[in-house]
Amino acid sequence: VAAAMAAERVLAMATCTAPVNIAVIKYWGKRDTDLILPINSSLSVTLHQDQLKTTTTAAASRDFTEDRLWLNGKEADVGHPRVQACLREVRRLARKRRGGNEDAAALSLSYKIHIASENNFPTAAGLASSAAGYACLVSALARLYGVEEELSEVARRGSGSACRSMFGGFVQWQRGERPDGTDSVALQVAPETHWPELRVLVLVVSGEKKPVGSTTGMQTSVETSPLLKHRAEVVVPERLAQMMRHIRERDFEGFGQLAMRDSNQFHATCLDTFPPIFYLTDLSRHIIALAHRYNAHHGLTKVAYTFDAGPNAVIFTLADTVAEFVEVVRRSFPPATNGDQFVRGLPVGSAVLSQELVAAVVTEPVPGAVQYILHTKPGPGPQLVDDPSQHLLGADGLP
């Protein structure tokens, strides 16, 4: 039995999935770039993993000669400082948990580690891939080493927004006050079941890498934008409280208006940065105008846009509006070739648009501008994958 146990320990493996999140009160700017501490609190919605997720397998073995990392099938730099920070923190928690006594059954912390990670969506295209990626890395490592502590703080060391992907539903990342960052953590405001009618449409306009990465972009903003300072100190604290109330009351009118205003202000701080940063494109602005025309036609906020550091639009709406608005988008940006592949994710019903609506809302169509629409909804936090056939690494510890 002991020999069998020893053979069993040759390779330890854990696989997790983690979600993307979309901020409705934006995070932009660090007060500590090393610990990744933000200049303001933020609030996000976690998206469902059936449509957008990262899967990560972490394996440890005494037979591994070095740490290795594969991203979407290609070997990547495991020495990346942020990957290393996450590894170091999880191992530190594991050591602390064991109280220094090496439990024979516990995985040796000196073993080298192999990590494989895959997204089911384009990386770095403004679809919050780093958030899902680091949340997933930390979840898999924590599982491997038997750690269950406050993991959002560890995920934050990989990518700030990753701490929010450690929970499902509606999540706040608290700015925190302490210089060591121990109070800069994520908390669930409400679970994904809280607002069952809420839906999310991601309008993918480009799968391209963004012109200015978030990391460099936000630090230039911190250094040069007086508007950003005002936003962080004066505007966000009030908006955060309002947004939590709108979510609690499931008030879409309030939620939607505030999400749009906050997105616009975030992009205004990008323009106020020197030299200015442009994440929105002409097409993004076209989508913004379309949303406003659509809401004006209905006389209330039926759709709300938000844009992160990239041109893809994320539209929040309620289930009863999805079919009509998707048809409006289809008419405004007629798909070039992929008519059947234009809407992905959750099913979307068909809708007949009135002449009045078309006349008022669908002004000059831009064919082929939107690659596709992804229909999704709020979802849960990281999940453990039990099925061994789902591991991204084989018994040899290789992809």
Q: What is the DSSP letter of 388?
A: G
Q: Residue 163: inside a domain, yes or no?
A: yes
- Hey, what amino acid is at 314? V
Tell me the C-alpha to C-alpha distance, in Å, between residue 320 and each of 193, 317, 323, 349, 378: 17, 8, 7, 10, 16
Note whether 312 and 206 are within 8 A (CB).
yes
24-79 pLDDT, tens digit each: 999 999 999 999 999 999 999 999 999 999 999 999 999 999 999 999 999 999 99
Q: Residue 398: inside a domain, yes or no?
A: no
Instruction: Supply the pLDDT for residue 124.
Output: 45
Residues 235 and 98 in one domain: no
Q: Tell me the three-class secondary structure of 182-196, residue by residue.
A: CCCCEEEEECHHHCC
Instruction: Supply the pLDDT for residue 378.
Output: 98
Residues 163 and 67 in one domain: yes
Tell which residue, 21, 45, 29, has the closest CA to residue 233: 29
Q: Residue 3: inside a domain, yes or no?
A: no
Residues 247 and 349 in one domain: yes
Tell which residue, 87, 100, 315, has the closest CA to residue 205: 315
Q: State how far the Cα of 1 lies from the Cα of 6, in Å rounded to an integer.
A: 9
Residues 166 and 220 in one domain: no
Residues 142 and 74 in one domain: yes
CB atoms within 10 A of CB 314: 26
Note whether 46 and 21 are within 8 A (CB).
yes
Question: Which strands make up the sheet holding 68-71, listed edge to edge?
Answer: 74-76, 68-71, 112-119, 53-61, 11-19, 383-384
- CB contact set of 4 (below 8 Å; sequence gap of 6+): none
Total count of domains within the chain:
2
Residues 188 and 204 in one domain: no
- Hey, what are 46's tokens? 């976690």
Residues 91 and 25 in one domain: yes
- Hey, what amino acid is at 319? A
Residues 186 and 291 in one domain: no
Instruction: Supply the pLDDT for residue 11.
Output: 92
Q: Residue 4: inside a domain, yes or no?
A: no
**What pTM, to 2 d.p., does this model score?**
0.95
Q: Look up the CATH number of the domain holding residue 174.
A: 3.30.230.10
* Strand, helix or coil for residue 296: helix
Q: Residue 395: inside a domain, yes or no?
A: no
| Structural domain for 240, as ranges | 198-376
The list of the chain residues with pLDDT below 70 reads 1-9, 100-105, 122-126, 128, 207-210, 338
Residues 276 and 153 in one domain: no
Q: Residue 396: inside a domain, yes or no?
A: no
Residues 24 and 161 in one domain: yes
Residues 171 and 293 in one domain: no
CA trace torsion 191, 204, 129, 75 (10° rounding): 150
Q: Look up the CATH number of the domain holding residue 288.
A: 3.30.70.890
Annotate 98-162 with DSSP letters as a single string.
Answer: HTT---TTSPPTTSEEEEEEEESS-TTSSS-HHHHHHHHHHHHHHHHHT--S-HHHHHHTT-GGG
Q: Residue 165: inside a domain, yes or no?
A: yes
Residues 73 and 176 in one domain: yes
Instruction: Supply the pLDDT for residue 149.
Output: 85
Q: Residue 144: inside a domain, yes or no?
A: yes
Instruction: Supply the pLDDT for residue 307.
Output: 96
Tell which residue, 253, 230, 229, has the closest CA to residue 243: 253
